[in-house]
Structure 1
Amino acid sequence: MTDGSRHPADVAEFLDRLYSEEGCQWACRVTSPSAFRAWQTGAREAFRDLLGLTRIEAQAGRGRPMVEWAPDTEDLGDCTRQQGRIDTEPSVRTSFWCLRPKGEGPFPLAITPHGHENGDIYAGICTDEKDRRRMQDENRDVAVEAARRGFLAIAPATRGIGGNPRAYRIADIGERHGGRDCVCHNWQVAVVGRSALGERVWDLMRILDWALALPEVSGPALMLGNSGGGMATAHAAACDERIDMAVPCCAFNNYMSPAGTLRHCPCNAVPGLLSFGEFWDVAGLTAPRPLLTVNGRHDGLHPTDEVDAAVSRLTAIYDAAGATGRYQHSYGEAGHRFYADIMWPWVETRVAELSA
């Protein structure tokens, strides 16, 4: 990092004080499984409140969500693809693609939230040749790959993401946020005690409410996503124990870098987040369930020294939970993308363990 990318000394001193770990009320400092369970119970409830989930549920209710299907189903050979829409709260209709393996099932469930891109690519849909090359080179058709491995896969449009024309979002119609719909959306819900990240988690929880009740779904539930989809994955897994295993890719690190800069898009910022804890404390809420974090060694958004420090902290939390070995981290030898050669062998091993 160059001197020009550092804060002045007085600002750096202020931020060091502001972001001190001593101010993290729910930082995980426990050393035994019994103490971990006590911490987790209180911390998860506090974190759900922080994201705005309690407020959203009070406003939206939790009845069985309504789903509407497009009339056409595409045959992809070893699976089918169909578009649907699910009402996750009043006036909010979330678009998704459902990929079903051939056969009667039952099938385990995979949900694949996307980040700042047109998430249709997760379902194998490309708008041009550039998209197609990116999908192939960066393993981005994850819902298709999940279906080919026997999962009933749901690829939802992530709320607030402007890169996906199907995504429900509050657009930056006043150009107050540089045309960034995701940032506009976060601020406009933050003023009533919500967060865009909390809404994304809520949508995923509502999809779980619906999908886990399908007669053809049984067995472990997997969630995986890259970048902003990895953020949604990690935070949903922290909040909802129905997610049996999670793979956030190119997302896990610190929330705030040692230099005092946000590591993720501001649309993931939650007021009060660092008063709760750091990313490893939140990810620790997933324990003892299996968790794989994947990063690109050459991903400029997440320096490896910072990732390594975060991994060390999360490993210690899993150890304290009595879940040694259930958390793993791996680097892919490229940048900000999926790594099929790392993810799918891990997923298949975990499915076998959970299904035994």
Structure 2
Amino acid sequence: MPEQKIPTQIDLRRRTFLKTMGLAVGSGFFSRGVWAEDKADPFNAYPDSVVKYLRRIYDEGQVKFSYREDYPGGFEVWQKEAREELRRLIGLDRIVSDCGDHEPKVEMSEPGPDLGGYTRQKGLIETEPDVRIPFWLLRPEGEGPFPLAILPHGHDSIGFDTYAGAAHDEEHQKRITERRADVAVQAAQRGFVAIAPATRGLSTPGVPDLLKRHGDLDCRSQLIHCLLAGRTAIGERVWDMQRILDWEMTLNEVDSERVLMMGNSGGGMVTLYASACDPRVSVAVPSCSFTLLHSRNGYIYHCDCNLVPGMAEWGDLYDVAGPIAPRPLLVVNGREDTLHSVSDIEKAAARAEAIYRASGHPENFESKFGGGGHRFYPELMWPFVMKAISA
């Protein structure tokens, strides 16, 4: 039986967006002023009353940790306090409390055959009681210690297989090739020990959406259960990456001073937050994910499961770059990516660049655009990574 096509994040959000726009326009719901002004900009096409409401509740005057030069104590104090509050906000402190003294357990299969300079091995890590995250470990040939790459994926139910180049069939292989998505293979070929983990709620581990109560979206089901318990989905995903990092740091084959985290879409969001919360990540590359939290009229760019309650009071996504500075950070986006606004990406990048200037290392932040859509751009990412990792 051929593999059933699984709707991607782009598919699902485009369907919802177009349906909503069609109903609103057909009913005459939009006021003439906003619709006439923004009909060419779907990210800002809310009616006047909604725009006023959203601008009021997203009032920048209420933001606590958006970086400013006159922050009491200066940049380092801001960075420390912003990181501590971010950890609390995404629920990491709650997860620590929930897990108690749980010790993650790791099970590994036997290494596979030589795949042309590297081997691929399946693993399973219990990051908290009864939560088991499968992953692929790709190991380059030769003697270590090797730099480490942790590569969380986005909305793809077999995303860790995709990243590891473990194609299920010809159609899957074609998709991997077209999207240049086998980043764990690319990392191993460049001398990294590469971990391609399942991202909780986006792949097999998570809370299934029973009876389709949450839109038939497992990622949303995960989020709802997290919120009821004082957690967030992004916090659980960061926790999983940190436990994988803990384990890898115990292996002699890994150079703990050279750790890359990189992911696309939802995996890029995990990369951004994990790198901000964990200084052990030495190079971060979020792909097709770095932008503003919302457009000027309040449109939210990311899937529900990437959102954090109260985040707009803490700051914006460019402020999440602050706790990463001065470590190297490259944000990559596609100019044809229909999920994001190029102008808002550029605004976010300008603010992140200012934060890196304040850290004293503006050269460690870069923002680049590929010419296509919502995918990896290896030709932009790897030169930055290899330079940063060898510095």
| TM-score, L = length of structure 1 | 0.95
Structure 2 match to 1:191: 228
Q: How many percent identity over aligned positions?
A: 48
Structure 1 match to 2:360: 322
- From the superposition, tell whether residues 112 and 62 of structure 1 become closer, same or farther in structure 2 (CA, over 3 Å): farther
Question: Quick one: which amino acid aligns to residue 144 of structure 1?
Answer: V
Structure 2 match to 1:285: 323
What secondary structure, in the 3-state scheme, does the structure 2 residue paired with 1:84 have? strand
> Which structure is larger by alpha-carbon Rg, 1 or 2?
2
The answer to whether the Cα contact below 8 Å between 1:64 and 1:210 also exists between their aligned partners in 2 is no
- From the superposition, tell whether residues 34 and 339 of structure 1 become closer, same or farther in structure 2 (CA, over 3 Å): farther
- From the superposition, tell whether residues 244 and 304 of structure 1 become closer, same or farther in structure 2 (CA, over 3 Å): same
Alpha-carbon distance in structure 1 between the residues aligned to 2:77 and 2:64 = 14
- State which drifts further: 59-68 or 79-88: 59-68
The answer to whether the Cα contact below 8 Å between 1:36 and 1:321 also exists between their aligned partners in 2 is yes
- State which drifts further: 243-252 or 9-18: 9-18
1:295 equivalent to 2:336? Answer no
The answer to whether the Cα contact below 8 Å between 1:114 and 1:157 also exists between their aligned partners in 2 is yes
- State which drifts further: 238-247 or 276-285: 276-285
The answer to whether the Cα contact below 8 Å between 2:102 and 2:129 also exists between their aligned partners in 1 is no
Alpha-carbon distance in structure 2 between the residues aligned to 1:34 and 1:290 = 24
Alpha-carbon distance in structure 2 between the residues aligned to 1:126 and 1:238 = 32
Alpha-carbon distance in structure 2 between the residues aligned to 1:302 and 1:273 = 19
The answer to whether the Cα contact below 8 Å between 1:99 and 1:123 also exists between their aligned partners in 2 is yes
| Match of residue 212, structure 2, among 175, 178, 191 | 175
What is the Cα deviation at residue 33 of structure 1? Answer: 12
What secondary structure, in the 3-state scheme, does the structure 1 residue paired with 2:381 have? helix
What is the Cα deviation at residue 63 of structure 1? Answer: 5.2
Structure 2 match to 1:204: 241
What secondary structure, in the 3-state scheme, does the structure 1 residue paired with 2:125 have? strand
Alpha-carbon distance in structure 2 between the residues aligned to 1:62 and 1:137 = 44
What secondary structure, in the 3-state scheme, does the structure 2 residue paired with 1:211 have? helix
Question: Quick one: which amino acid aligns to residue 184 of structure 2?
Answer: A
- From the superposition, tell whether residues 72 and 147 of structure 1 become closer, same or farther in structure 2 (CA, over 3 Å): closer
1:24 equivalent to 2:63? Answer yes
1:35 equivalent to 2:35? Answer no
Structure 2 match to 1:57: 96
What is the Cα deviation at residue 260 of structure 1? Answer: 1.2
What secondary structure, in the 3-state scheme, does the structure 1 residue paired with 2:211 have? coil
- From the superposition, tell whether residues 72 and 245 of structure 1 become closer, same or farther in structure 2 (CA, over 3 Å): closer
What secondary structure, in the 3-state scheme, does the structure 2 residue paired with 1:286 have? coil
- From the superposition, tell whether residues 330 and 31 of structure 1 become closer, same or farther in structure 2 (CA, over 3 Å): farther
What secondary structure, in the 3-state scheme, does the structure 2 residue paired with 1:294 have? strand
Q: Deviations over 1:115-174 (max 9, x none)?
A: 00121110001123232122122210000110111100000000001xx3xx21101012
| Match of residue 92, structure 1, among 108, 116, 131 | 131
- From the superposition, tell whether residues 13 and 332 of structure 1 become closer, same or farther in structure 2 (CA, over 3 Å): same
What secondary structure, in the 3-state scheme, does the structure 2 residue paired with 1:293 have? strand
What secondary structure, in the 3-state scheme, does the structure 2 residue paired with 1:225 have? strand
Structure 2 match to 1:45: 84
1:125 equivalent to 2:166? Answer yes
What is the Cα deviation at residue 36 of structure 1? Answer: 0.9
- From the superposition, tell whether residues 42 and 327 of structure 1 become closer, same or farther in structure 2 (CA, over 3 Å): same
Structure 2 match to 1:141: 182
Question: Quick one: which amino acid aligns to residue 286 of structure 2?
Answer: P
Structure 1 match to 2:254: 217
Alpha-carbon distance in structure 1 between the residues aligned to 2:110 and 2:387 = 36
Structure 2 match to 1:79: 118
Structure 2 match to 1:275: 313
What is the Cα deviation at residue 72 of structure 1? Answer: 5.1
- From the superposition, tell whether residues 217 and 262 of structure 1 become closer, same or farther in structure 2 (CA, over 3 Å): same
Alpha-carbon distance in structure 2 between the residues aligned to 1:147 and 1:168 = 25
1:154 equivalent to 2:195? Answer yes
- From the superposition, tell whether residues 23 and 206 of structure 1 become closer, same or farther in structure 2 (CA, over 3 Å): same
What is the Cα deviation at residue 327 of structure 1? Answer: 0.4
Question: Quick one: which amino acid aligns to residue 346 of structure 1?
Answer: F
Structure 1 match to 2:287: 249
What is the Cα deviation at residue 49 of structure 1? Answer: 0.3
What is the Cα deviation at residue 39 of structure 1? Answer: 0.2
What is the Cα deviation at residue 177 of structure 1? Answer: 1.4
Task: Give the paired residue count.
Answer: 349
Q: Deviations over 1:172-225 (max 9, x none)?
A: 012111110001110111111100000000000111111111111114000000
1:8 equivalent to 2:56? Answer no
What secondary structure, in the 3-state scheme, does the structure 2 residue paired with 1:284 have? coil
Matches within 5 A, 1:334-349: 334-349=372-387
Question: Quick one: which amino acid aligns to residue 226 of structure 1?
Answer: N
What secondary structure, in the 3-state scheme, does the structure 1 residue paired with 2:388 have? helix
- State which drifts further: 276-285 or 24-33: 24-33
What secondary structure, in the 3-state scheme, does the structure 1 residue paired with 2:262 have? strand
Alpha-carbon distance in structure 2 between the residues aligned to 1:181 and 1:2 = 32
* Unmatched tracts of structure 2, length 5 or more: 1-37
Alpha-carbon distance in structure 1 between the residues aligned to 2:258 and 2:52 = 47
